[in-house]
Structure 1
């Protein structure tokens, strides 16, 4: 046997078969107690067949996609459509019963005519509407008889156009909304508000705006959060640079200061401070090669008082 396509095989078929057995147990206990909740009964009945066929499909087509068991696939595809409609319909029936109980109304109305009407509504929602959707409505938008998915078996093939969405796919959305608006109308506004806040009220920008408002209100009351409480890093202020300090050099022989940068008045600046002229220094060096210590040795020191004192001490 070739390796199964589904990496979870055989867990999924086993889970489907076990879940179908659980639904059968619920149906049997309801039958023995003669206590029928039609919403739960319809849901358990169709989930039993749907999960059972899903488990069988996962075993038969675990490693292949061969087209076989045609009649079986026809039945399975229609069961899938019925189950897709029964799920929201059963939710509507259960919600309706809970609404009648919480509103202190009897589920089984004393009037025989109203009782028959109540049962007719539940049977229509739980059985008649799903059969109509899986029958003529599905036939209108059915592209092919069925399709076989490797690893999962046969499946229905409805059209994905607007008509297919309206006739087949829309039930899973419209029925729950209808049950909410019809039987939970008092909760509609709070639930809608919570949903909108969950989508748009907890974004990063929204949270930053909330903290800004909190900081402004806290400032009015004399409270100011520290940077650590804000969760933000401390930032440095603006760094301003002043005029670049001049570097100075000291002539060891004469003890005079001389600028180290090159400029048009370099020679005049040195003369004004009692320094040795470059030309005279050059002449001395040329005339007396043996007295090389007469050459002006330059030591660059900082104009800062502390650094200058340190430099003088070293010299």
Structure 2
């Protein structure tokens, strides 16, 4: 069992994260892990182990198939999740799905017990289930999330959450939770590069020489970080990894002015009053799919998202994104 204790990181107010031109770094730098607390390193190890797990191995597909005809099992937009979609019949001549039937199940999100323990939570047209995994996070037990969405969940005609159906799937899936399959061997998930990588890998360069805090160390595909002791969050950035359907991503030859290139990767840089955001479609030239008939489509693209404080031109966020893209491109 993984035991993670509380952490008291060294707090030294530093300058903002060093986010200059990171593309010309000379030789390998010491790992960012050397500049975080021992507790944070244990949490990072925990997340690294989660990245090896196939979330599709955490659900009993035979039990899911008893809820309806399964048309898709595989990759979801969140790298931690496995998505199961059902073939819901249409209503008459229009294209709306018959309401009140199982539409999809997702599994894979993990959270720390907030004190309410394992449970089913109803929502309008959906049900959230939390199951104990037997693992321990920093401040409490780990829970694994299952979500069932009913067809017509956004319609007043369908208010049934589907917790009865989800409960059956969860009960059948319990024995699988402690013996997950490996992501690298999954026939359902797209075998892309991004899920294998550490989202904090860019910190070797962009925070070189600086004591840092990783606030999302228990989240496998997110790196929310800042300089140690910077409670004003001026040096705070967030790097996260996502999947996007190829049909919903920009075409590689798109010349729309809103797109730019970061180390050759088509990217969107956006600035609002609250933050700067960069989305880099690093896998656009090499979309991936699963390896069996229920996961052959759609094609998926690796996406790196970086956010930070708003500033003119989003220079610092672009610089952090540049290093994250470089790490991706140079990874094997």
- The TM-score with structure 1 as length reference comes to 0.19
- The TM-score with structure 2 as length reference comes to 0.19
Does 1 or 2 have the higher relative contact order (CA < 8 Å, sep 6+)?
A: 2
* Greater share of strand: 2
* Greater share of helix: 1
